[in-house]
């Protein structure tokens, strides 16, 4: 029996590889060597887990991975069987040469960023099972999917989520899937802006959006930011890009009065606002704030967001919510540049959201990030207050701090301090780089969410020691 052969495998918890990897490699070798024949039935996950005295979830994950790779297939009501055909690129390989790297072994060095979520908390096992399920159910229609706005079921899930979480006024027909807000701004600039119109950015603001604006060859203007957020622009017409829920990089939340001023500017000047709602999922006191788009009733405001922080950055999926009046012209331009977005990750994300796993993941991340923020705040005020004045914040994945008088007297520069922080695994970027025309201030954006709790205070202590070393300063 197949289960008897598997029992000959010595699965150990100190064998240098995970139980999942050991079992996966063993079953695959049995298939490739011919010991397991095509259409031979495998034991159920429950029975195999019992025989091997391991968790059933381990067996389930192995079966899902082998199925996604084409080695086995599951027939409803009949069981799990060796596939008729072994994947071509593996059938001619020597079994001794075949290895499956664990996630840790495949991992490349992640860039240190001030805006990284707790990536290690992402439920990779559930994501992998979802991927296998989506691949097995892939239909011919989905294989030739060609809607420039993206996969309709995913757009429906996004619309429902935004209505409930952010009070966004929209239907699935208004949602367009994009790879990120920089692509979204490029598409908008080339589809809805009149020849004499301007892209108006916050100053200070996110330099990635400035790069996208420059790539569009549009005229670029700036509007200043005060304690209430972006001021109404001086320009008569254009596309104003703002981050009202949490201004980047200052972390300000725009009050209702300022929001109404911006909406009045848009209506008066026949213009539109692109609402960059980054970090909106992560507010740690009270529920997330309502969107500017919701106040506008779906008119004059284009709402933009991504899954880079709520899922992971390399997923490269985001969305625009377009006013009804703009849908046709934006779709027409989208068709001209890349026709439609890739379907695979859209199917996967749809399943992840429809199953409720997305919301569960967000709830877990809020708790994890809130705990890490508290630890970071304690450590930062204990060890860095000599040089940095931290702005209050109850949201997001980073903190903002100004270099204080002591730091400036020591001739410290924010770009140098960001480099010091990076050396100890702390994601940090300089605030001065975010200014264009307004007088630049020296400050830091410092990420906390992707630091393990045990790493936080030691990393901060190392940063403080480095600053003392560089300046000769001692308290």
Q: Which sequence spans correspond to the domains of the chain? A: 2-107, 146-342, 365-471
Q: By the 8 A CB rule, do 284 and 370 touch?
A: yes
- Report the run of H or E that residue 306 belongs to, with start and end: strand 301-306
User: Which of 294, 191, 250, 213 lies closest to 395 in space, CA to CA?
Assistant: 250
Q: What is the dihedral of CA 448, 451, 457, 461, to 10 degrees?
A: -80
* Structure letter (DSSP) for residue 109: P
Q: Taking residues 385-392, what's their average pLDDT?
A: 95
Residues near 171 by beta carbon (within 8 Å), at least 6 away in sequence: 159
Quick one: pLDDT at residue 45? 87
Which tens digit of pLDDT belongs to each residue from 244-279? 999 999 999 999 999 999 999 999 999 999 999 988
Domain 2-107, CATH? 1.10.10.10
What is each CA distance from 369 to 252, 375, 447, in whole angstroms? 19, 10, 11
Quick one: pLDDT at residue 31? 84
> Quick one: angle between helices 56-69 and 45-52, nearest 10?
120
- Record the tokens describing residue 270, joined without a space: 């026949």
CATH match for 365-471 among 3.40.50.1100, 3.40.50.720, 3.90.1150.10, 1.10.8.60: 3.90.1150.10
Which tens digit of pLDDT belongs to each residue from 5-25? 555 665 655 555 677 888 888
pLDDT averaged over every residue in the chain: 88
Phi-psi region of 16 (alpha: psi -120 to 50; beta: other; left: phi over 0): left
pTM as predicted: 0.77
Quick one: pLDDT at residue 98? 42
CATH architecture, domain defined by 146-342? 3-Layer(aba) Sandwich (3.40)
User: Which of 231, 201, 234 lies closest to 216 in space, CA to CA?
Assistant: 201
Q: Taking residues 399-418, what's their average pLDDT?
A: 96
* Structure letter (DSSP) for residue 61: H
Angle in degrees, CA 323, 329, 330, rounded to 5? 70
Phi-psi region of 110 (alpha: psi -120 to 50; beta: other; left: phi over 0): beta
Of residues 95 and 229, the one with the higher pLDDT is 229
Q: By the 8 A CB rule, do 96 and 106 touch?
A: no
Quick one: pLDDT at residue 167? 92
Residues near 139 by beta carbon (within 8 Å), at least 6 away in sequence: none
Which tens digit of pLDDT belongs to each residue from 78-128? 889 888 765 544 444 444 444 444 444 444 455 567 788 999 999 999 999
Count the neighbouring beta carbons within 10 Å of the beta carbon of residue 237: 17
Give the 3-state secondary structure of residue 461: helix
What is each CA distance from 309 to 100, 203, 276, 331, 449, in whole angstroms? 28, 23, 13, 26, 10
């Amino acid at each position: 029996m197949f289960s008897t052969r598997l029992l000959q495998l010595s699965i150990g918890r100190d064998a240098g590889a995970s139980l999942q990897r050991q079992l996966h490699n063993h079953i695959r070798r049995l298939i490739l060597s011919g010991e397991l024949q095509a259409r031979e039935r495998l034991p159920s996950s429950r029975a195999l887990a019992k025989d091997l005295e391991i968790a059933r979830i381990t067996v389930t994950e192995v079966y899902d991975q082998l199925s996604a790779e084409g080695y086995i297939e599951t027939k409803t009501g009949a069981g799990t069987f060796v596939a008729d055909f072994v994947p071509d690129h593996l059938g001619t390989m020597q079994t001794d040469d075949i290895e499956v790297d664990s996630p840790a072994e495949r991992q490349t060095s992640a860039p240190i960023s001030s805006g990284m979520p707790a990536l290690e908390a992402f439920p990779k096992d559930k994501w992998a099972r979802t991927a296998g399920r989506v691949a097995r159910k892939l239909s011919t229609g989905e294989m030739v999917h060609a809607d420039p706005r993206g996969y309709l079921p995913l757009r429906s899930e996004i619309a429902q989520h935004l209505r409930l979480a952010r009070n966004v006024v929209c239907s699935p027909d208004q949602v367009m899937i994009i790879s990120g807000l920089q692509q979204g701004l490029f598409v908008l600039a080339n589809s809805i802006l009149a020849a004499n119109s301007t892209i108006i950015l916050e100053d200070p603001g996110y330099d990635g959006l400035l790069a996208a604006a420059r790539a569009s060859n549009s005229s670029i203007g700036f509007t200043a930011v005060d304690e209430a957020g972006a001021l109404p622009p001086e320009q008569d017409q254009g596309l104003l890009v703002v981050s009202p829920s949490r201004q980047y990089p200052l972390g300000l939340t725009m009050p209702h009065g300022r929001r109404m001023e911006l909406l009045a500017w848009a209506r008066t000047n026949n213009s539109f606002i692109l609402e960059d709602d980054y970090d909106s999922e992560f507010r740690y006191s009270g529920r997330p704030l309502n969107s500017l788009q919701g106040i506008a009733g779906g008119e004059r405001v284009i709402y933009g967001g991504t899954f880079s922080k709520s899922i992971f950055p390399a997923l490269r999926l985001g969305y625009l919510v377009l006013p009804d009046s703009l849908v046709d012209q934006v779709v027409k331009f989208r068709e001209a540049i890349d026709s439609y977005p890739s379907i695979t990750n859209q199917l996967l994300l749809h399943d992840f959201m429809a199953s409720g796993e997305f919301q569960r993941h967000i709830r877990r991340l809020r708790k994890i990030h809130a705990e890490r923020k508290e630890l970071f705040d304690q450590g930062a005020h204990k060890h860095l207050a000599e040089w940095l004045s931290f702005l209050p914040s109850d949201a997001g994945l980073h903190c903002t701090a100004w270099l204080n008088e002591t730091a400036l007297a020591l001739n410290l520069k924010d770009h140098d301090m960001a480099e010091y922080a990076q050396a100890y695994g702390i994601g940090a970027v300089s605030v001065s780089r975010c200014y264009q025309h307004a007088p630049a201030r020296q400050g830091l954006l410092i990420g906390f969410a992707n630091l393990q709790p045990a790493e936080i205070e030691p990393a901060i202590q190392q940063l403080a020691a480095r600053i003392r070393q560089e300046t000769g300063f001692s308290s």
